[in-house]
Amino acid sequence: MKFAIFGNTYQEHKSAHVTHLLKILRKKNAEICISHEFYEFLRVHTQTDLSCLEIFNGNDFTADMALSIGGDGTFLKAASRVGEKEIPILGINTGRLGFLAAISPDEMEETFEDIYNGDYIAEPRRVLKLTCENNILKGCPYALNEIAVLKRDSSSMITIKAYINNELLNIYQADGLIIATPTGSTGYSLSVNGPIMVPQSGTISITAVAPHSLNVRPIVIRDDWEITLEVSSRSHNFLIAVDGRSESCHEEARLTIKRANHFTKIVKRKDHTFFNTLREKMMWGADNRI
């Protein structure tokens, strides 16, 4: 098998996990390629043996599986690089929560045994695509977690007219609006009281950030519906965040959000289920009285 490696480029003290990973892959006689920026980080900051690795830039790579070493943020960056290739991504968690990067470093050896035996799941997850009328967006338009429209300055709210299939849904006055996939429903969206959605539910949630109304509540819609947003603000601009990658946008921009034509495939061990992860990592339903 051939593996493409992406990693966190901020925490060199966790490089021992990379050394262990490369040792496991070399034992399996795997082909290994690595993103240029992660390779340089390891070369400068660690003593990891980087011999015989193929180095690639940007999205110019092919592999049977992508490996993300870090937390969920690293996983999201890897997913944006994999993009429409639909290469399965395995997340090895060296971060904190690790909801997407669900494999602990202690599980690596048995996980790769399962992978080489074909005993794993590559679960397809829906992706959102953001387009803008005047094509001003600079970054990747695809989001595995969420697309957020947020105020840019610190004081005044923004006004967001939201349409579903060209029918007015609501005019939000708030600090922002988060459009989340089921995968992203346990991320930023959850922190502003958005609903938890099962990955296979075929839905999208729309949740306001600090709305200036007691009557505004999250809403869940079908993921084959199209969302259009018109934003206005006192500063005449706002922020768009696509899986945390943010850029400034002028208020004349009309945004369209719909599901992408491709999936992101997340590699999971067969004993790692969504509900287990909710209970174990997010303490969902935990009662400290028991």
Pick left, alpha or beta for residue 10 (phi over 0 → left; psi -120 to 50 → alpha; otherwise beta).
alpha
C-beta of residue 245 within 8 angstroms of C-beta of residue 80: yes
Q: How far apart are CA 39 and CA 27, in angstroms?
A: 20
Calculate the alpha carbon distances from 9 to 33, 53, 104 in Å.
16, 17, 18
Calculate the alpha carbon distances from 98 to 34, 91, 143, 187, 232 in Å.
21, 8, 18, 11, 36
Q: How far apart are CA 229 and CA 227, in angstroms?
A: 7
Please report, in range form, the residues annotated as the binding site.
72-73, 77, 145-146, 175, 186-191, 210
Q: Which of 60, 72, 114, 153 is catalytic?
A: 72
113: which residues sit within 8 A by CB, 6+ positions away? none
Structure tokens at 158: 């923004």
- Closest alpha carbon to 206 in 263, 257, 132: 257
Structure tokens at 153: 């300055």
Structure tokens at 147: 């697309």
C-beta of residue 268 within 8 angstroms of C-beta of residue 123: yes
C-beta of residue 208 within 8 angstroms of C-beta of residue 172: yes
Please report, in range form, the residues annotated as the binding site for NAD(+).
72-73, 77, 145-146, 175, 186-191, 210
Q: Catalytic residue at 224? A: no
Active site residues: 72
